[in-house]
Amino acid sequence: MPPPRLGVATPVFPFTVFTDARGEVVALFVGELHKPQAEFILAEVENLNKGLVQLASARRTIDEGLRALKPR
């Protein structure tokens, strides 16, 4: 069986995949990952692992939060 493509059409480096405790992909970050971004994503993954949020909600929160963290 071929490995999952993770939604990336062509190989791009660097990229980081964040998974929850069950191995579900929560977020895929393409590009250089900075500490504020990593901390934000990991906090939401922790909330997911504790059962405080559902997967779809965690993904949405991460997407919205990362857009807000982008430099203007």
- Kindly state whether residue 16 falls inside one of the protein's structural domains: no
Give the pLDDT band of residue 69 (cuts 50, 70, 90): confident
- Kindly state whether residue 62 falls inside one of the protein's structural domains: yes
- Kindly state whether residue 48 falls inside one of the protein's structural domains: yes
- Kindly state whether residue 70 falls inside one of the protein's structural domains: yes
| Containing structural domain, residue 57 | 34-72
- Kindly state whether residue 45 falls inside one of the protein's structural domains: yes
Residue 70: the pLDDT is 79
- Kindly state whether residue 10 falls inside one of the protein's structural domains: no
The pLDDT tens digits of the residues spanning 36-67 come to 999 999 999 999 999 999 999 999 999 999 99
The CA–CA distances, whole Å, from 13 to 31, 36, 39 equal 7, 20, 20
Mean pLDDT of 22-31: 94
Neighbours of 64 (CB within 10 A): 10
pTM for this predicted structure: 0.81
- Kindly state whether residue 72 falls inside one of the protein's structural domains: yes
**Counted domains in the chain:** 1
